[in-house]
């Protein structure tokens, strides 16, 4: 089926959805709407794959040249056909059955599909993993189709002072809203791909803003789960205490549907032992009235200080408008609700701890690979490879690898490391987010997720679920956002989504 016919079918079935849609296409189609079309034979998964591949051809390396997708799965059409046949015979496996999903290029897929797992680096090009990432296996079991790999900041932005969205293999990913503009942070390819309709959803990985920032900059929804809710097995590591895999999608409902599939315990990742034994279907918590009666804290001390944080005044202005809207929707805003450790957070050595871990974890990851054509076996080898292949890894303007050099100089898990890790735990958790939630009896903390307005403005939300126990707690990102102004006279459109004690809400302001 041609892409134009697919769009026509999407437009036809959109009319009977429980909410009005003037037109539905690959830019806007939700997973629910796509699944409806598949279930009612308006189109097939093969049609979907062809349409998305055509979109990728149009905008990835041609046209606007967004460089969001590194490579595609050469067996995607074959897999889609098999899933179409299975649907006809046995029905769908899950809401993701036959739905194309992209994954970040640090999430392992089996080499026999012809896709690499390289963190954007030529040093790992052609490397072969023994097992694909657990989250990918879960996607496949749900019936989702892994359409391809997305570009990222090389080594998840741990290489050096390089532009957001650049990798040696993938080049420069750019924001789809303005030519050449910043896509923000490490999971940029995943966010850009979802924003421009190259897949129904994507997986990102966050250690420090890598889902939140690109989701906000590209006007999509990202969820950064608590570390341990989703498995990192098969993910090229940065930090064992910060890495977490999460969904990026066009709506809260779609992100919740993907999270429901990828979350859960995994014997290959000890941190997931704290996850619930049974993962709920998070879409059941979608509630347009969830904000009413919930308590939102605003940690103003330090975080809202324009001088200390170098925050653009317009960010705080829009944030205040969002707080007022929350009040009008029945939310209780506790203001201020400062973190007990707020004035001490600047003493945190979080980045140093992460770099210590990165060296050890990366060396272990590489040494566990089945095959590495470049013969690198350690971080030291990667630095050497980069220096010997400057045309690939250090083109003019992209030479910096200071973070890799610093990581290589670290001395492992010594007493200083353990003391610093413990102090960070106290500052960020016991006297940080958890401390504030308990002290003020809050359901969530609200803060702007970016200091610069760019063309959009956002709030991120730190929340708790169920009874507030750690294993049920999630970090839900992307909450208040302003779409790009295409003219100075355009009114602001703000959307926010908040997760509170089991309730996902989606609002438009």
| DSSP assignment of 308-357 | HHT--HHHHHHHHHHHHHHHHTT-EEES----TTGGGGGG--HHHHHHHH
Question: Is residue 504 classed as helix, strand or coil in its secondary structure?
Answer: strand
Q: pLDDT in tens for each of the 509 residues of the chain?
A: 444 334 333 333 333 343 333 345 777 899 999 999 999 998 999 999 999 999 999 999 999 999 999 999 999 999 999 999 999 999 999 999 999 999 999 999 998 898 999 999 999 999 999 999 999 999 999 999 999 999 999 999 999 999 999 999 999 999 999 888 999 999 999 999 999 999 999 999 999 999 999 998 999 999 999 999 999 999 999 999 999 999 999 999 999 999 999 999 999 999 999 999 999 999 999 998 999 999 999 999 878 877 767 778 888 888 999 999 999 999 999 999 999 999 898 888 999 999 999 999 999 999 999 999 999 999 999 999 999 999 999 999 999 999 999 999 999 999 999 999 999 999 999 999 999 999 999 999 998 877 666 544 344 454 544 333 333 333 233 322 222 322 222 222 333 334 443 344 443 33
Q: What angle do CA 194, 160, 448 make, to 5 degrees?
A: 50
Question: Does the bond joining 502 to the residue before it have cis omega, within 30 degrees of 0?
Answer: no
Sign of CA dihedral 131, 134, 139, 145: negative
Is 438 noted as a catalytic residue in this protein?
Answer: no
Annotated catalytic residue, options 30, 104, 260, 341: 104
Residue whose C-alpha is closest to residue 193's, from 27, 35, 10:
27
Q: What confidence score (pLDDT) does residue 454 get? A: 52
Q: What confidence score (pLDDT) does residue 328 get? A: 96
Q: What confidence score (pLDDT) does residue 238 get? A: 98
User: What domains does the chain contain, in order, with CATH numbers?
Assistant: 3-285 (3.90.1300.10), 295-340+432-508 (no CATH)
| Cβ-contact 117, 105 below 8 angstroms | yes
Residue 42: strand pairing partners:
none
Q: What confidence score (pLDDT) does residue 230 get? A: 99
Annotated catalytic residue, options 30, 118, 185, 186: 186
Q: What confidence score (pLDDT) does residue 24 get? A: 52
Annotated catalytic residue, options 210, 231, 341, 454: 210
Residue 443 DSSP label: S
| Cβ-contact 333, 326 below 8 angstroms | yes
Q: What confidence score (pLDDT) does residue 4 get? A: 39
User: What is the Cα–Cα distance from 44 to 46, expressed in whole angstroms?
Assistant: 5
- Strand 503-508 and strand 171-172: the pairing is unpaired
- Please tell me the pTM assigned to this model: 0.86
Q: What confidence score (pLDDT) does residue 202 get? A: 99
Q: How many CA atoms lie within 13 A of 283 on its CB side?
A: 14
Is 210 noted as a catalytic residue in this protein?
Answer: yes
Residue 163: strand pairing partners:
none
HEC sequence for 414-441:
CHHHHHHHHHHHHHHHHCCHHHHHHHCC
Is 65 noted as a catalytic residue in this protein?
Answer: no
Torsions phi, psi of 65, nearest 5? 50, 60
- What share of residues in the chain are helix, strand, coil (percent, to 5)? 40, 15, 45
Torsions phi, psi of 215, nearest 5? -60, -45
| Cβ-contact 3, 25 below 8 angstroms | no
The CB density around residue 326, as the number of other CB atoms within 10 Å, is: 24
302 by Cβ neighbours in 10 Å (0-12 / 13-18 / 19+) ranks as: middle
User: What is the Cα–Cα distance from 32 to 17, expressed in whole angstroms?
Assistant: 10
HEC sequence for 161-177:
CCCCCEECCCEECCCCC
- Strand 494-500 and strand 475-482: the pairing is antiparallel
Q: What counts of helices (H) and strands (E) characterise the chain?
A: 16, 15
Q: What is the dihedral of CA 10, 13, 16, 22, to 10 degrees?
A: 30
């Amino acid at each position: 089926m041609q892409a134009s016919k697919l769009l026509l079918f999407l437009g036809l079935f959109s009319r009977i959805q429980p909410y009005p849609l003037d037109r539905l296409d690959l830019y806007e189609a939700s997973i629910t709407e796509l699944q409806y079309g598949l279930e009612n034979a308006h189109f097939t998964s093969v049609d979907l794959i062809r349409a998305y591949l055509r979109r990728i051809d149009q905008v990835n390396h041609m046209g606007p040249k967004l460089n969001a997708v590194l490579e595609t799965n050469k067996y995607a059409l074959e897999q889609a056909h098999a899933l179409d046949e299975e649907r006809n015979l046995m029905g769908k496996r899950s809401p993701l059955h036959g739905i194309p999903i992209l994954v970040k290029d640090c999430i392992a897929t089996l080499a026999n599909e012809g896709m690499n797992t390289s963190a954007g680096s030529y040093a790992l090009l052609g490397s072969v993993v023994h097992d694909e990432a657990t989250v990918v296996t879960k996607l496949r079991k749900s019936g989702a189709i892994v359409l391809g790999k997305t570009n990222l900041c090389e080594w998840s932005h741990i290489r050096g002072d390089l532009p957001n969205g650049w990798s040696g293999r993938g080049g420069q990913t750019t924001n789809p809203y303005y030519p050449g503009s910043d896509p923000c942070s490490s999971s940029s390819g995943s966010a850009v791909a979802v924003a421009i309709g190259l897949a129904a959803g994507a997986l990102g990985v966050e250690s420090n803003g890598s889902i939140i920032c690109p989701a906000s900059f590209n006007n999509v929804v990202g969820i950064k789960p608590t570390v341990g809710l989703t498995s990192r097995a098969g993910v090229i590591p940065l930090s064992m205490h910060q890495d977490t895999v999460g969904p990026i999608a066009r709506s809260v409902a779609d992100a919740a549907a993907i999270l429901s599939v990828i979350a859960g315990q995994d014997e290959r990742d000890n941190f997931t032992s704290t996850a619930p034994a049974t993962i709920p279907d998070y879409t059941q918590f979608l509630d347009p009235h969830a904000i009413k009666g919930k308590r939102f804290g605003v940690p103003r001390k330090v975080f809202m200080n324009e001088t200390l944080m170098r925050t653009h005044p317009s960010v705080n202005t829009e944030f205040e408008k969002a707080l007022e809207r929350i009040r009008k929707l029945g939310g209780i805003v506790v203001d201020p609700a400062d973190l007990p450790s707020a004035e001490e957070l600047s003493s945190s050595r979080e980045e140093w701890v992460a770099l210590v871990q990165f060296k050890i974890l990366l060396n272990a990851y590489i040494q566990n690979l089945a095959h590495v054509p470049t013969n690198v076996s350690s971080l030291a080898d990667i630095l050497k490879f980069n220096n010997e292949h400057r045309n690939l890894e250090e083109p003019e303007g992209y030479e910096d690898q200071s973070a890799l050099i610093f990581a290589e100089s670290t001395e492992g898990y010594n007493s200083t490391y353990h003391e610093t890790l413990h102090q960070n735990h106290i500052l960020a958790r016991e006297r940080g987010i958890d401390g504030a939630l308990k002290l003020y009896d809050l359901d969530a903390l609200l803060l702007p997720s970016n200091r610069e307005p760019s063309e959009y403005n956002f709030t991120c939300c730190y929340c708790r679920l169920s009874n507030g126990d750690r294993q049920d707690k999630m970090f839900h990102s992307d909450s208040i956002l302003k779409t790009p102004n295409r003219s100075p006279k355009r009114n602001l459109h703000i959307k926010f989504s908040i997760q509170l004690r089991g309730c996902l809400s989606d609002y438009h302001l």
